[in-house]
Amino acid sequence: MKRFIMHAAGAVFGVAVSLASAPAQAQATIKIAYTDPLSGPFAQVGDANLKQMQYILDYINAKGGALGRKFELVPMDNKSQPSDALLALKNATDQNMPFIMQCSGSNIAAALIEGIEKHNDRNPDNRIVYINCGAVATELTNDKCSFWHFRYDLNVAQKAETLVRALPQNIKKIYLLNQDYLFGQSVQRDVKAYAARLRPDVQIVGDELIPLGKIKDFTPYITKIKASGAQALITGNWGPDMNLLIKAGLDSGADLRYYTMYAHLAGGPTSIGPAGENKVFSIMAFNENHAAEIKNADAELFQKGFRDKHKFDFYAAGFRTIFEFMQEAVNKAGAIDATKIALAMEGITRKDFLGYDAVMRKDDHQILQTYYVGVFSKGNKYDSEGTGLGWKTATTVMGKDLAHPTTCKMKRPAAK
C-alpha cells in the first residue's frame, strides 16, 4: 500500500510539473539577436533600424508569430567593431538563439560568417542562422557565401548596376568617394565595372577611399571634386560619412548630383535639407511616397502607423520581408531548429510589402526583390523629417532584372 501511495504521489507530481511547465513552454519566445552599432558615431542608424524592426515584429506577432510563439528582438551593441559582433554571437549561441541579425558593416558580416561557420560545425545541436539585413559587399554571397548566411538586401554589384542605369545621358564625368573597408572597396570596384559596361561614355575623374567614421570636415574633398569637373558624385558612404559629405557639398554650392546608397536613412534628409532639392538620389527598398504613387492603401496605412509614433521615415519595408520570410521558414520547418529553418528558407517566394515578387535564391542565399532610385524633391505626399521634401520614385528595377550570376560554391551542412 505504501509503495502504491508513493507511485501515485509521484504520478501526481509529474502531472503537476507537466501542467505547470506547459504554459511557459507555449509562451517561450523565438529570440533574434540583433547586433549593430547602438552607440558611437553610427548609433543613429542602428537605433532607427531597431525601432522599425520592433514595429514590424509587433505586427508579425499580432498575426500569431510562428508555431504559436512570438518573436523577440534582443539588441546587442557591436559599436561597429567585428570583435564586439563576435561577442554578440557568443552571447546568442550561449542562449541557444536560432537567429542573429546584422545590417551595418560588411567587415562585421565577414567576421560573423566565419564565426558562425566554425560554431555550427562544432555544435550541431546548437546552430544559428545569420540574417543579413544590409551588409552588402558582393563577395558575401559569392566567393564568401555560407549556407548559414541569408542576405535580405541587394549586393553592391546589383546596387551599382541600378545607380549606373539611373545616370542621365547628360552626365559624362563622375567622381567616386567611398569608405575604405570591404563594402566601400566593393562599391569602388563594381561602379567602375558597370560604368565601363553600361556607360562607356562616362569618364571617372576621381576615385578616393576614406577612413571609416574618421572625417569630420569634408570641405577639402568637395574642393577636389569641384576642381575635377565632375557632374555627379557616386558614394556608398553611410551614417555621418554620408551626411557630412553631402552637407559640405551643398554648403559649398557645388554644381553636383549626388548618387548614394543611403541618403534616405534616418538623419540623411535633415542633413541634406532644402538645398538638396532634385540633387540627391538614393537607391532603396522602399520610400513612403511609393505606396501612394502605386495607390497601395494597405502599405500606406502600415507606414502611417510608424509615422504616428516616430519622427523619421519608415523606409524599412525590406525588414518586413525579412520577418515574413522568417515566419514562413519557422512554420515550414516545424521546429526551432536552425538547420531545418535554413533549409526551409531556401527558395521561398512570396509577395513583398508592396505586392512585388521576392525570392530567396537557393544558389547563394541572395534576395531578389524590387528596388527603387528615389530623388529628394518637393511636391510629394509625404515629406522626410519635416524638411518639406520627400523621396519620389525616379527609377524602378524589378528583382528578376537583378538576378546576377553567382560564383558561390556553397558547403551544405553535415547531418546531425
Residue 11 in domain: no
* CATH number for the domain harbouring residue 200: 3.40.50.2300
Tell me, what's the pLDDT at 18?
Answer: 40
* 103/24: higher pLDDT: 103
Looking at residue 27, its pLDDT comes to 56
**Residues 290, 154, 208, 144, Cα dihedral to 10°:** 170
The pLDDT value recorded for residue 29 is 97
**Helix, coil or strand: residue 179:** strand
149 assigned to some structural domain? no
Question: What's the longest Cα–Cα distance across the chain?
Answer: 100
Give residue 11's pLDDT. 43
Q: For residue 397, what are the β-bridge partners?
A: 371
Is 266 part of a structural domain of the chain? yes
Please return the burial class of 411, using the count of CB atoms within 10 Å of its CB with bins 0-12, 13-18 and 19+: exposed
Nearest alpha-carbon partner for 317 in 363, 269, 356: 356
Question: Quick check: 300 and 291 in contact, CB under 8 A?
Answer: yes
Whole-number percent of the chain with pLDDT over 90:
90
pLDDT at 180 over 80: yes
Domain range for residue 268? 157-284
Average pLDDT, the chain: 92
**Higher pLDDT pick, 7 / 322:** 322
* Model confidence band, residue 2 (pLDDT cutoffs 50, 70, 90): very low
Rounded distance between C-alpha atoms, residue 215 and residue 172, angstroms: 28
Strands (E), 4-70: 30-36
**84 domain-assigned:** no
pLDDT digits (tens, 9 = 90+) for 9-26: 444 444 443 434 334 444
Q: How confident is the model over 233-284, as pLDDT tens digits? A: 999 999 999 999 999 999 999 999 999 999 999 899 999 999 999 999 999 9
pTM above 0.85, yes or no: yes
Q: Where are the alpha helices (DSSP H) in 233-293?
A: 240-252, 268-272, 288-293
Grid coordinates standing for 71?
518573436
Total number of domains in the chain: 1
The predicted structure's pLDDT at residue 20:
41
pLDDT tens-digit map of 199-208: 999 999 999 9
Extended beta strands in 223-342, E state? 232-235, 257-260, 280-284
Rg (CA), the chain: 23
pLDDT of residue 19: 38
User: Residue 225 falls within a domain, yes or no?
Assistant: yes
User: Does residue 51 fall inside a structural domain?
Assistant: no
The answer to the question of residue 236 being in a domain is yes
Q: Does 191 map to a domain?
A: yes
User: Distance (Å, rounded) from C-alpha 345 to C-alpha 322?
Assistant: 10
CB-CB contact of 261 with 187 (8 Å)? yes
> Residue range 111-119: average pLDDT?
98
DSSP letter, residue 127: -
In the beta sheet, which residues pair with residue 31? 72
5-19, 94-108, 192-206: range with lowest mean pLDDT? 5-19
Buried b (16+ CB within 10 A) or exposed e, 345-368: beebeeebbbebebbbbeebbbbb
pLDDT at 1 over 60: no
Segment 207-230, tens digit of pLDDT: 999 999 999 999 999 999 999 999
Share of the chain above pLDDT 70, in %: 93
**Whether the predicted pLDDT of 309 surpasses 70:** yes
Question: What is the SS3 assignment for 143?
Answer: coil
CA 341/CA 356 separation, integer angstroms: 24
